[in-house]
Amino acid sequence: MHTEWGWLVAIYLFLGGLGAGAFLVAAMFELTNKRYEFEFCAVTLVGATIPGPVIALGTILLIFDLGAGLWEPWRILYMFTHFTSVMTWGIWILSLFLPLSFIYGFLEVMDAYPAAWEWVKGRKWTRRLTFLQTLPVRRMKRVVAAVGIVFATGVAVYTGVLLSAVGPSIPLWSTQVLPFIPIPMLPLLFLVSALSTGVGLTIDLAATLVVPEVSHRIRRLPLIHLAMIGIETLLLGFLLITAFLSGGAAAQSARDIVVGPHSIVFWVLIVVPGFIYPFIVHAYAAGLGRHSPASGLGSGIGIVVAGLFLRYLIIVSGIPAAL
């Protein structure tokens, strides 16, 4: 039986990866003290405040796409107790990560805007909460960032586990890293894609808009981008090659992606904006030490758009084994 998943699930997977990736970038900036090299750090502000809302939205979309979430929402509670189900693992990971995301976002806003923190502490309803008056914001933020890294990684990986668990009914989704390595490819691919879109959103887009010369302050940014693009290209290439070699429905899915009905999405909306253009831009920046704000913004937009369509393409290209 073919599971009819479409845009809602693709958007959920994308938002989950984007939120987790943005959190990971912000947390790494925090824990390495890179965040405090800027008078105002848009990377951590966006990376800390975006994950909670976007993952909450994605979770709502997934619940409604399940059908029961729309007509019988109380049945969602049963999913917390099926510990052999991949869905249950995901719900627990999301349930633990979501509050951490909102707490981290709150702490980052209070740290970035001290006046806002003083306003919060001065409200009547907070004066009775004595712990808020002496709350060590930056120390708490580092603790939340360190713990959140574990759950953010779990969310990013889970978006791939969710699809790969459907296999072998849809062989493309359960394609292994290599024919002789029994590890599904999608969790690794989606993890790297999450990091890439997180960097694209927080640094290429947000930070460049605030500080146009941000690339000069993050000297290794082009190399980081080149490494992630290279790894993601290899993983996607191995996915398609292994699918071709596997034959059957997996090979047909790969053909549909590369030269078939989905090839326009693959080449025009994924490969060019998410791989080729960012690679050229950041290779140029790494070689000559120059990186214009326009190219940085273009790279960020391309990477984020490619991240969305990558997940959509994987979903719509899945062909059941019976066919």
Q: Cα–Cα distance between 147 and 135 in angstroms, integer? A: 18
The predicted model gives 29-44 an average pLDDT of: 90
SS3 (DSSP) at 212 = coil
Q: Model confidence at 78, in pLDDT bands (50, 70, 90)?
A: low
Of 83-92, 168-177, 299-308, the range with the highest mean pLDDT is: 299-308
Q: What is the pLDDT of residue 87?
A: 74
23-34 per-position pLDDT tens digit: 999 999 999 999
- Residue 323 pLDDT > 60, yes or no? no
Q: Cα–Cα distance between 75 and 236 in angstroms, integer? A: 36
Q: Model confidence at 4, in pLDDT bands (50, 70, 90)?
A: low
Do residues 215 and 265 touch, judged by C-beta distance below 8 A?
Answer: no
CATH 1.20.1630.10 fits 7-316, yes or no: yes
- Residue 116 pLDDT > 60, yes or no? yes
271-296 per-position pLDDT tens digit: 999 999 999 998 988 877 666 788 88
Do residues 208 and 296 touch, judged by C-beta distance below 8 A?
Answer: yes
Mean pLDDT (the chain) is 86
Domain residues of the chain, as ranges?
Answer: 7-316
Q: What is the pLDDT of residue 61?
A: 79
- Residue 217 pLDDT > 70, yes or no? no
CA separation, residue 50 to residues 17, 70, 109, 211 (Å): 12, 26, 12, 19
Question: What is the model's pTM?
Answer: 0.90
Q: What is the pLDDT of residue 132?
A: 65
Which of 121-135, 161-175, 181-195, 231-245 has the least mean pLDDT?
121-135
Decide which of 221 and 194 is more confident. Answer: 194
Q: Cα–Cα distance between 159 and 305 in angstroms, integer? A: 17
What percent of the chain has pLDDT above 90?
Answer: 53
Q: What is the pLDDT of residue 2?
A: 44
Q: Model confidence at 50, in pLDDT bands (50, 70, 90)?
A: very high
